């Protein structure tokens, strides 16, 4: 228990442990005690911002895939390989040093890289006058690398940051990520339809689509930089995390105008039991979740953008085929993310989650036979 010199803590105090601990921290000027709920204002605003930031974390990736019809060659498999390798490497390195990394800088750098990668695609197109070639292809792959770096910074950084706060914030962030697919599909279909019959319509629609994507990433960068840290409830949870020994929130608190000193945890009392688990202990304790996440990701990328972005030959939908398939995936993925909100459909059993994950692999032969024998 925290025992500041300027105030005493009586374990026989009739107040609850939470109230007593909050007052104890308040004596250290770490957390003001909750009196009228003013510290917890802005939850709705925070959830909206989290939803938008979740959108921004995957908006560029979905934009690159939704512009599939504009590429001269089917390069989505290369994009996926580059994205997965770079994102995994970045996330792994940052996860190893997560306890000491400045989370604010990490997220700001991530959103900045996402904005630059989104902006670089239309710039590359304009610089090459829309012509393909090996140099353009390499340039697109380099942009995919920048996006992978940005995504590796943002997703882990934001989820780690939000895990110190209200669980609803993580739900909003993840829901925003799934909604980004729907938004990019609607935006791409709209721009394609508007410019379809005009001269160089495909190129004009793709450029407008990518420019709008870049502007949205800029909005996310500004929201995190100027708005999110100053929301009262976010400020409160970060102050609480700092009082419990977190070093990663100090820059965010300083940006919100909260001056704090890194407190030291007493070597006596019940906090001795709250030792920090190592990365190995965390992985072994949640190895089933890690396996589930791996299997889900492998299957998802094998179908999307794997199969859905492939050239399936001549058909009535022509260049619209890949876009419609991608849009259908994004819509159903978005709806499925909200299934856990229905209590009767929520799946909480670890064994049940593993069974459902393995059952999903039945989609592989289904897609194979559909592609091979379907007309």
Residue 158 CB burial class (10 angstroms; 0-12, 13-18, ≥19): buried
Instruction: Assign a CATH topology to domain 46-233+277-373.
Output: Growth Hormone; Chain: A; (1.20.1250)
Q: What is the pLDDT of residue 23?
A: 42
Query: Which residue blocks in 128-200 are alpha helix, DSSP H?
Result: 134-162, 167-195
For residues 6 and 48, which has the higher predicted lDDT (pLDDT)?
48
Residues 280-306 have pLDDT tens digits of 888 888 888 889 888 888 888 777 776
Indicate the average pLDDT of the chain. Answer: 76
Q: What is the pLDDT of residue 325?
A: 81
pTM across the whole model? 0.77
Residue 12 · residue 4 · CB < 8 Å? no
The residue-averaged pLDDT of 137-148 equals 86
**Of 30-34, 191-195, 196-200, minimum mean pLDDT range:** 30-34
Q: For residue 362, name the pLDDT band (cuts at 50, 70, 90).
A: confident
The residue-averaged pLDDT of 146-151 equals 89
Q: What is the pLDDT of residue 256?
A: 67
Residues 64-110 have pLDDT tens digits of 777 766 665 656 677 778 888 888 888 888 888 877 788 888 899 99
Q: What is the pLDDT of residue 108?
A: 92
Cα dihedral value 104, 107, 108, 111, nearest 10: -170
For residues 368 and 156, which has the higher predicted lDDT (pLDDT)?
156
Residue 78 CB burial class (10 angstroms; 0-12, 13-18, ≥19): middle
Query: Which residue blocks in 223-286 are alpha helix, DSSP H?
Result: 232-243, 250-255, 279-285
Q: Match 């012509």 to its residue by tokens.
A: 131
For residues 79 and 359, which has the higher predicted lDDT (pLDDT)?
359
Q: Report d(CA 26, CA 120) in Å as an integer.
A: 48
């Amino acid at each position: 228990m925290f025992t500041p010199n300027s105030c005493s803590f009586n374990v026989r105090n009739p107040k609850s442990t939470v109230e007593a601990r909050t007052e104890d921290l308040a004596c250290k000027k770490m957390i003001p005690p909750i009196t009228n709920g003013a510290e917890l204002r802005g939850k709705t605003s925070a959830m909206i911002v989290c939803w938008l930031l979740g959108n921004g974390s995957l908006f560029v990736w979905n934009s690159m895939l939704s512009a599939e019809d504009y590429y001269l060659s089917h390069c989505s498999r290369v994009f996926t390989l580059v994205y997965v390798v770079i994102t995994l490497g970045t996330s792994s390195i940052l996860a190893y040093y997560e306890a000491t990394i400045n989370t604010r800088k990490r997220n700001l750098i991530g959103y900045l890289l996402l904005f630059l990668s989104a902006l670089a695609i239309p710039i590359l197109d304009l610089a090459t006058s829309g012509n393909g070639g090996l140099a353009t292809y390499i340039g697109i792959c380099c942009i995919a690398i920048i996006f992978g770096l940005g995504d590796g910074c943002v997703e882990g950084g934001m989820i780690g940051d939000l895990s110190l706060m209200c669980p609803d914030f993580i739900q909003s962030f993840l829901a925003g990520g799934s909604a980004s697919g729907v938004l990019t599909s609607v935006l791409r279909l709209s721009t394609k339809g508007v410019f379809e019959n005009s001269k160089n319509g495909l190129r004009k629609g793709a450029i407008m689509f990518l420019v709008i994507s870049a502007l949205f990433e800029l909005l996310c960068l500004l929201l995190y930089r100027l708005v999110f840290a100053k929301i009262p409830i976010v400020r409160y949870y970060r102050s609480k995390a700092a009082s419990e020994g977190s070093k990663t929130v100090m820059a965010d608190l300083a940006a919100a105008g909260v001056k704090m000193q890194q407190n030291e945890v007493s070597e006596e009392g019940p906090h001795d039991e709250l030792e920090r688990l190592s990365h190995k202990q965390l992985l072994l304790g949640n190895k089933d979740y890690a396996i589930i996440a791996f299997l889900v990701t492998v299957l998802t990328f094998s179908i999307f953008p794997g199969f859905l972005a492939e050239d399936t030959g001549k058909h009535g939908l022509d260049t619209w085929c890949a876009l419609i398939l991608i849009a259908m995936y994004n819509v159903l993925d978005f709806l499925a993310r909200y299934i856990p909100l229905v209590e009767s459909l929520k799946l909480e059993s670890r064994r049940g989650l593993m069974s459902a994950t393995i059952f999903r692999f039945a989609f592989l032969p289904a897609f194979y036979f559909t592609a091979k024998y379907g007309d």
